[in-house]
Amino acid sequence: RHQLGSARGRLSGLTAAGTRAAAGDGDDVHAGRGTTTNGSVANQKGKGLLLYAERPFKDFTLELDYLPESGSAAAGVFLRLPQEPATLDAAERSAYEVKLGEDKPPAFREPVHYTRSMFLTGAINLVGADSMHHRDQMSPRRFVSRAPGEWNTLRVDAVGQRYTVYVNGEKVNDFFGRKATEGYIGLVNRTPDFSVRFRNVRVTPRTATNAPNSVGELVATHDQRPPIKVLMVTATHGFRHTYGIEGAVELMRELEKTTELRVDTTENLATLNPANLAKYDVLFFANSTLRINPKDTTQAALRAVRLRAPIPNAVTPEQQRAVIDFVRGGKGVVLAHAALDANYGWDEYREMAGGGLFEAHPWTTHLRVINEAKTNPATRHLDDKFWIREEFYILDKSPRATSRVLLSLDNTSFGSPNMGRLPAPENSDHPVSWTRTYGQGRVFATILGHFRDTWQRPEFVQHLLTGIRMAAGRQPTESAARR
């Protein structure tokens, strides 16, 4: 076990424990100078990096205690810097950082209640992303740091490309990266006026064999299975969840390599015809905010289907019939996130989805979810209650009466709304995922999937993959409600 950041020696140079100060940029040229107090270490002033330069590490467990001196103090831990960085900027762009405290988000175009989660304790990110939806970032499940002035514990397991983060003993992140798998460790201070102190910093090298290096490898099948042929539709007429769609497409490519899924992705609604659909086992609407043109083109009728004017590429009556016949005839359909903000005025689609469609999303934040189906294959890997960050949809009608609800929101975790109006008091049942039968076919639906990082969370990927198998009729399930 290697001790980092010992109070021995001068932290402005190479210490007896091998910790070296790396300067910040510009006005922060002295930012790397450290101070020690009662066996803990912190930057003397400004932003900067304390680098453990004695040796790089491959697989390891990092443990430390940290104390933000104020609510505005922010710091982080760099993992596997591929070389000793000359500047803080170079470090930021070459290795993953685990956030500590609450750093100020950069000026992304997204609102603060989107960006804030990427800069909270337990988040993993890589500076230089053009958006908080970037592939190389993942928000924590929730914020669990103690009050400023109190000590917290951090543990990071880095094995292959997998980074598992625990704060105060609670698992808050599980992330598969794609950067260097060997490198240096550094402690960074990010707020010029406030410090985060560190103590008991230690690294234990690990030896792992056959460890998964991607979420696809984590859920890989190791036996021969008949392929499940999936047509994934990502076309949109309403709001386009660009990053969520990119995440879905990337995930399906991964799962094609490691599971029995065989996925064709399309933006062309002409593929929704009987002859083409006959090739597939499952139709997957991934964040596809589709619309139909109403027969009545008055403004009232258009508003009812969430249109301002008729559109030339709406889902046609023939395509509607092909989709319904496909499912009712014995195939499967999967609806993810904005597929429930779709096809207003198409009564059979609403019925197939379980009866409810999008009404509002008051909470885009971390909420607690209740696992209502611990024995179901799609949820038995999940805790009885767990936290996740999402743009949580509130539907205009709960699907509970027609469906087997798997997950639902814990209403006691609600805070003030940050993105939309609250639901009516009588609308207090908020399922998150559910299954049902529709005719002879099977439906799996989830409101999850807004953020790109959702599509890389191991717990969500297992949930979705099993849901696809259930929709295809390849996975035994509990009894599902029938239309």
Residue 131 has pLDDT above 80, yes or no: no
d(CA 265, CA 252): 9
Residue 35 has pLDDT above 60, yes or no: no
Query: To the nearest whole percent, how much of the chain has pLDDT over 90?
Result: 66
Supply 83's token pair: 């070389």
Alpha carbon 431 to its chain's center: 19
User: Under DSSP, is residue 259 helix (H, G, I), strand (E, B) or coil?
Assistant: coil
Mean pLDDT calculated for residue range 104-109: 56
Q: Give pLDDT, residue 457.
A: 96
User: Maximum CA pair distance of the chain?
Assistant: 80
Q: Report the sign of the C-alpha dihedral through residues 133, 135, 137, 139, in that order.
A: positive
Residue 31 has pLDDT above 50, yes or no: no
- The more confidently predicted of residues 139 and 442 is 442
Q: With contact defined as beta carbons under 8 Å apart, do 328 and 440 qualify?
A: yes
To the nearest 10 degrees (0 to 180), the angle between helices 458-471 and 242-258 is: 70
Tokens 């009608």 belong to residue: 397
Give the Å distances, CA to CA, from 383 to 140, 290, 459: 16, 34, 10
Q: Give pLDDT, residue 423.
A: 80
| Average pLDDT for the chain | 86
E-strand stretches of 280-347:
282-286, 332-336
Residue 186's Cβ-side half-sphere holds a number of Cα atoms within 13 Å equal to 36
Place 195 in a pLDDT band, splitting at 50, 70 and 90. confident
User: Under DSSP, is residue 27 helix (H, G, I), strand (E, B) or coil?
Assistant: helix
CATH code of 2-205, in short, is 2.60.120.560
pTM over 0.95: no
Q: Which helix (H) or strand (E) holds 14?
A: none
What is the identity of the amino acid at 349? Y
Q: Give pLDDT, residue 63.
A: 96
First to last CA, the chain: 60
Task: Tell me, letter by letter, the H, E, C secondary structure of 130-146.
Answer: CCCCCCCCECCCCCCCC
Query: Can you give the residue ranges of every domain in the chain?
Result: 2-205, 215-482
Alpha carbon 393 to its chain's center: 16
- Lowest-pLDDT range, 263-267, 333-337, 363-367? 363-367
- The more confidently predicted of residues 93 and 300 is 300
Buried b (16+ CB within 10 A) or exposed e, 60-87: bbbbbebbbbeeebbbbbbbbbeeebeb
Q: Give pLDDT, residue 329.
A: 98
Task: Give every CB contact of residue 223 below 8 A, 6+ residues apart in sequence.
Answer: none
What is the identity of the amino acid at 317? P
β-pair type (96-101, 19-22)? unpaired
Q: With contact defined as beta carbons under 8 Å apart, do 95 and 78 qualify?
A: yes
Q: With contact defined as beta carbons under 8 Å apart, do 184 and 51 qualify?
A: yes
Beta bridge partners of residue 187, listed in sequence order? 50, 77
pLDDT in tens, 46-86: 677 887 878 899 999 999 999 998 888 888 999 999 988 88
Residue 168 has pLDDT above 90, yes or no: yes
Mean pLDDT calculated for residue range 474-482: 70
DSSP-assigned letter for residue 421:
P
Neighbours of 130 (CB within 10 A): 8
Place 480 in a pLDDT band, splitting at 50, 70 and 90. low
- Indicate if 215-482 has the same CATH topology as 2-205: no
- The more confidently predicted of residues 420 and 336 is 336
Mean pLDDT calculated for residue range 423-446: 94
Q: Give pLDDT, residue 245.
A: 96
Which CATH number applies to 215-482: 3.40.1010.10, 3.40.50.880, 3.40.50.12780, 3.30.200.20?
3.40.50.880
pLDDT in tens, 338-388: 999 999 999 999 999 999 999 999 988 899 999 999 999 999 999 999 999
